[in-house]
Chain A
Amino acid sequence: EAGVAQSPRYKIIEKRQSVAFWCNPISGHATLYWYQQILGQGPKLLIQFQNNGVVDDSQLPKDRFSAERLKGVDSTLKIQPAKLEDSAVYLCASSLVITSGDYNEQFFGPGTRLTVL
């Protein structure tokens, strides 16, 4: 079974430039998550989609970050303009649709490492 795919794996940009990351979840997974992992810290949830609707974007810095999942499958996360503090690994994860209080395991992609100079 194919896992969560992300691209690019690495990206280096200068501050004030824009950048986009792409994620393709596991087939059949309705829920998709984007996390930010700053060096030396645990991942932090940025946004959660169920199908093509946003479930939670309370931690997304909406003045510069945006994300979409137009057809309920793959997703893009964009940063415009980037700041130095955005340097991090951006992780995408997916899970089956959330229907109850039980845990639906989140499967993670390899991440995109962003360096902002």
Chain B
Amino acid sequence: AQSVTQLDSHVSVSEGTPVLLRCNYSSSYSPSLFWYVQHPNKGLQLLLKYTSAATLVKGINGFEAEFKKSETSFHLTKPSAHMSDAAEYFCVIKAAGNKLTFGGGTRVLVKP
């Protein structure tokens, strides 16, 4: 079975500093991986996706993620955090039939 593990349940950063959210995956074949963001009282929104093309994937709002097969990782980064980045972030892996399996989530707090 495919799964993802988010290594940090909470991350706190200062505005203007880099953000790193860590995700490891387990899959018996080449995976499709995603990051979704969930702002309070809003629906989940797709940030970016990896589907076996370029290993460095750029998403919306300045986020990017790098797929590393040797490390089975798909970490999400942003060079400079903004207050609007405060939200919960989910690492997600796709199974057959367009089904998604979500990680436990990382809540990001941005301090002024």
- Please report A residues at the B interface, Cβ cutoff 8 Å: 3-4, 31, 40-45, 48, 55-56, 91, 93, 95, 98, 101-111
Contacts and interface: CB of A to CB of B under 8 A. Distances in A.
Interface of B: 9, 32, 34, 41-46, 49, 51, 90, 92, 94, 96-105
Contacts, number: 57
Consensus secondary structure, chain A interface: loop
A55 B104 contact: no
B105 A56 contact: no
B51 A103 contact: yes
A42 B103 contact: yes
B43 A109 contact: yes
Contacts of A91: 43-44
25 contacts: A3-B43, A4-B43, A31-B98, A41-B104, A42-B90, A42-B103, A42-B105, A43-B90, A44-B102, A45-B100, A48-B97, A48-B98, A56-B97, A56-B99, A91-B43, A95-B98, A98-B97, A102-B51, A103-B98, A104-B98, A106-B46, A106-B98, A106-B100, A107-B43, A108-B43
